[in-house]
Amino acid sequence: MTETSTRPPLRGIVGEARKGKIGVLIEEHFDMTEFRRFNELFPLHGYQVVYLSHLWGNPTLTFGSNPDNGWVEEHVVVETEIDSANPADYKGVIIIGAYASDRMRYQVAPRKGEPNQAPAVAFMRQVFATPPTKIGTICHSLWLLCADRALLEGRRVTCAHNIICDVENAGAEVVYGPEGTVDLVIDGHLITGKHPAVTDQFIATFLAEIEKVN
């Protein structure tokens, strides 16, 4: 059995919204590196981090990170239901990486010929239709957008090497460099990062895009 941290879980709203809010979609098995840096750097620059998820009728749910070091080190208590979230309330929306992004595209009763109706996928459709809200993904988190080809088709992106096939099958153009996929790609209001090692660079770029004078 995987061991877990004895530290109390983090509340799912971090920092003060002096400049606005950053919504982060999250579920069980989220990436620990991204989680820690989001909680440090966004509040440092004046943005409140609000974790969003489908709560299945509960007032809160607690999610744990990937057991990267053999045990679950980070937990977060999410209290913001994604079904009732308004994209216009956020300066940017980020999908956290790792297997959380796969779990978020689960739908209870899929029907042939109908687009994915998972709450997180439905929310992302709203976000894409709410410019100039910035959208960010890192590593595996494009998995969530792969659930609806309309969200990715024709977009230039980067991602982890092991989901390239999923992303390309969803109609996106993956950008390559000398060592596989490139670190970062900006395509309009969509900012994508390759893997957790570029999290700081991703955050800096995301902030710059939010604060860019139009």
Distance CA 158, CA 170 (A): 13
Instruction: Say which CATH number the domain at 87 has.
Output: 3.40.50.880
Give the structural domain span for 40.
3-211
pTM: 0.95
Q: CA quadruple 97, 139, 200, 81: dihedral positive or negative?
A: negative
pLDDT of residue 4: 66
CA distances from residue 210 to 22, 43, 108 in whole angstroms, order as listed: 10, 14, 35
Dump pLDDT digits (tens) for 21-74: 999 999 999 999 999 999 999 999 999 999 999 999 999 999 999 998 999 999
Dump pLDDT digits (tens) for 90-125: 999 999 999 999 999 999 999 999 999 999 999 999
pLDDT of residue 88: 96
Of 150, 196, 193, 148, the residue nearest 175 (C-alpha): 193
Spatial neighbors of 48 by CB under 8 A, at least 6 apart, are: 13, 14, 15, 16, 17, 20, 21, 22, 42
Distance CA 150, CA 142 (A): 13
Residue 119: phi and psi, rounded to 5, are: -55, -40
Query: Which two structure tokens, joined as six digits, stand for 62?
Result: 């607690």
Distance CA 141, CA 105 (A): 11
**1, 67 Cβ separation under 8 angstroms:** no
Read off the pLDDT band of 3 (50, 70, 90). Answer: low
For the chain, what is the domain count?
A: 1
CA-derived radius of gyration, the chain: 16
DSSP per-residue string spanning 169-199: HTT-EE-EETTEE-SEEEETTEEEESSGGGH
CB atoms within 10 A of CB 177: 10
Place of tokens 């239901």: 81
